[in-house]
Amino acid sequence: MGVEIERKFLVRDMVVLRGLTGVSYRQGYLSTDPARTVRVRRAGDHAFVTVKGASTGPARAEFEYEIPPAEADAMLDSLALRPVIDKTRYRVDAGGRTWEIDVFGGVNEGLVVAEVELESADAALEIPPWAGPEVTHDQRYFNASLVAHPYPEWRED
């Protein structure tokens, strides 16, 4: 069984992306049940179906399979819950790890989240200076949650 262990942070300084080229992502969900999400993702010239289990802290079961891009496009256009998520993903090396920074567009315009995958839940992590508050445990920042509750609609708590 695959297990994804990741931590998420807001990005406080966009200068980290200066000079980098990102990859356009389009992704949608066939299921957003918290116990099991099913995602279809088009990432540049590649496409994937991913099944994720419920989160336990920063970890959850994950199974991902590459599929033909045309099939992903068809599922995104006809089967995925609305809205479909649009974002550009950048990869940044910092502190001996590769961080993925997602700059959201479309209905989630304005949201920028950095995530880093870890080998264990208690792995040491050097937080780069451009990273802001940690949002790992805040389910609002899960991509599946952004479908039902887009970022600009959130109210200040």
Catalytic residues: 29
Which H or E element spans position 88? strand 85-94
CA distance 108 to 86: 8
CB 117 within 8 A of CB 5: yes
- Compute CA distances 120 → 40, 58, 140, 143, whole Å: 26, 9, 23, 22
Q: Report the SS3 class of residue 76.
A: helix
- The closest of 95, 79, 104, 97 to 26, measured between CA atoms, is 104
- The closest of 123, 136, 120, 137 to 95, measured between CA atoms, is 123
